Structure 1
Amino acid sequence: MDGQLTAFTAVAAGMVTMPGADFAVVVRNALDSRRAGVATAVGVAGGLLVHTALAVAGLAAVLVAVPALFGAVQLLGGGYLLYLGVRALSAVFRRPAAPANAAADGTPDGGGGPAAPPGTARSLRQGFLANALNPKAPVLFLSLLPQFVPAGQPALPRTLLLAALVVAMALVWFPVVALLVDRLGTWLRRPRVARALEATTGALLTVVGGVLLVEVALA
């Protein structure tokens, strides 16, 4: 088997499965519903498709070469992740605390029912934007993909294959995460657990978004 392809598969798998903003958004929406989680996962894969396509086409080099353009994308990405994080954290504070006699299945006694889950289109958009507005992804793929093109081989078919592998992994991994969260929903949706998980994902998104904005300010 192609040794470089094997090495790239391992590297790409680590990149895709590493917990980060994409993971947090998928988990956050999967807590609302299975459909929302899977739609978010597909949106994340769509964002990766954009990044890998840009790298294959060489357009990511333009982003790297024009600091103002890179800064604008970084500003948009950081702002959007910060927005998602603040929304998640505000939902934690709005969510009523679990009463002492909360039901075993995680449904609190009394009070109104759970908030309506986000629509499929909105979840798809959130996943796509959370990934597509990550300014560091095109730089990463631009520097990574050429490293796994064997000498003497045409670059375009090889980079297309590598890009397809990354997107395929995302299309498997993130829906699996969403389905696992939904499978564990009875436990994860218990008021205390849901508050803790939502607070964690909200804090992660807020920190990542804040770091991106700070980097823009210091650039």
Structure 2
Amino acid sequence: MDAQLLAFVAVAAGMVALPGADFTVVVRNALASRRSGLATAVGVAGGLVVHTALAAAGLAAVLVTMPALFRGVQLLGGAYVLYLGLSGLYAMRRRPAAAGDAAGEESEGRALPGAGRSLRQGFLTNALNPKAPVLFLSLLPQFVPEGQPPLPRTLLLASVVVLLALVWFPAVALLVDRLGRGLRRPRATRVIEGGSGTALTALGLVLVTGPLLH
């Protein structure tokens, strides 16, 4: 039994499950529909595949050692997260504060995001996350046994992260959909949209205006 691999699975599971921009976008889209939530979850996993490829190719190391390039990715990612947050706040303002369930469901039916759009949102939210290259570079080498070729082991560990994301985020989407009727009531939806919009806006502002992440 590979004790280091088991330890990595535990650590990676905790990191994947930690609420953040990915989690917030999955929950928000899952409120619209199960299909949108699942598409967003798959998109998040797709973003992790990009980071896996970058780490395997050594490009993540180049990104981290070039502050200007890293800052550019940080600004781009922050701007996109900020856009998602402001979109959520705008949607909350447009949604009626009190309306019948039927009217609320009808309104939601007209505003359902397509699966392609949700997939793209999940992918970009994760792929443009500037913390991911740092995470892969700082964490993965700690679980490569001495004397082992680093590339196969790194690919294995990165694949574990992707698989965990493919389990966790669809599970979150399905849970939100399962609780759907109560969460989709107009008042509850406004609260969730407002909370997720505020969280994403704050995170986007931190990324855009904050110091360079290391």
Fold conserved (TM > 0.5)? yes
Secondary structure, counterpart of 1:107 in structure 2: helix
Matches within 5 A, 1:43-62: 43-62=43-62
What is the aligned partner in structure 2 of residue 38 from structure 1?
38
What is the aligned partner in structure 2 of residue 206 from structure 1?
201
CA shift at 1:98, angstroms? 1.0
What is the aligned partner in structure 1 of residue 2 from structure 2?
2
Q: Would you say how many aligned residue pairs link Structure 1 and Structure 2?
A: 213
Instruction: Confirm whether residue 170 of structure 1 aligns to residue 150 of structure 2.
Output: no
CA shift at 1:214, angstroms? 1.1
Contact 1:85 1:203 (8 Å CA) reproduced: yes
2:119 to 111, 115, 124: 124
Q: In structure 1, what is the Cα distance between the partners aligned to 2:118 and 2:93? A: 22
CA shift at 1:57, angstroms? 1.7
Contact 1:88 1:198 (8 Å CA) reproduced: yes
CA shift at 1:112, angstroms? 6.0
Counterpart residue type for residue 123 of structure 2: F
- Deviation above 4 Å: which 4+ runs of structure 1? 216-219
What percent identity do the matched residue pairs reach? 69
Contact 1:74 1:216 (8 Å CA) reproduced: no
What is the aligned partner in structure 2 of residue 138 from structure 1?
133
Q: In structure 1, what is the Cα distance between the partners aligned to 2:86 and 2:192? A: 14
Contact 1:85 1:201 (8 Å CA) reproduced: yes
What is the aligned partner in structure 1 of residue 72 from structure 2?
72
Q: In structure 2, what is the Cα distance between the partners aligned to 1:22 and 1:156? A: 27
Query: So what's the TM-score if we normalise by structure 2?
Result: 0.95
Alignment CA distance shift 1:8-1:68 (3 Å): same
What is the aligned partner in structure 2 of residue 82 from structure 1?
82
Alignment CA distance shift 1:46-1:218 (3 Å): closer
CA shift at 1:7, angstroms? 1.0
Matches within 5 A, 1:140-159: 140-159=135-154
Query: So what's the TM-score if we normalise by structure 1?
Result: 0.93
2:191 to 196, 199, 219: 196
What are structure 2's unaligned runs of at least 5 residues?
A: none
Q: In structure 1, what is the Cα distance between the partners aligned to 2:107 and 2:7? A: 49
Counterpart residue type for residue 29 of structure 1: N
Matches within 5 A, 1:181-192: 181-192=176-187
What is the aligned partner in structure 1 of residue 107 from structure 2?
113
CA shift at 1:107, angstroms? 3.0
Instruction: Report which stretch shifted further, 15-24 or 45-54.
Output: 45-54
What are structure 1's unaligned runs of at least 5 residues?
A: none
CA shift at 1:65, angstroms? 1.1
